[in-house]
Amino acid sequence: MVNRIMEHDGSTITFSTGQYKDRVVFEGGEPRFRQRIVVFDSRAIETLLVVPL
């Protein structure tokens, strides 16, 4: 869950919800990501806004 704090009044809203589904394997005794699936659960995406999550 990603919350957003609004500058103008300090209110907090839920900006985005979702989950990562990671597949981790051990190679040479070290954990490595084999696969990452991102599941975005939020209904609406603000257009013309680029915010890395």
Q: Give me the DSSP letters along 2-26.
A: EEEE-TTT--EEEEE-EEEEEEEEE
The CA-CA-CA angle for residues 13, 18, 23, to 5°, reads 150
| Structural domain for 11, as ranges | 2-40
List, for residues 25-41, the tens digit of each pLDDT value. 999 999 999 999 988 88
Mean pLDDT on 2-23: 89
Number of structural domains the chain divides into: 1
CA atoms within 13 A on the CB side of 8: 1
Higher pLDDT, 40 or 49: 40
Does residue 46 fall inside a structural domain? no
Does residue 32 fall inside a structural domain? yes
- Please check whether residue 51 is in contact with residue 41, taking contact to mean a CB–CB distance below 8 angstroms: no
Does residue 50 fall inside a structural domain? no
Question: What is the percentage of the chain residues whose pLDDT exceeds 90?
Answer: 43
Reply yes or no on whether the pLDDT at 5 is more than 80: yes
Single pTM value for the model: 0.54
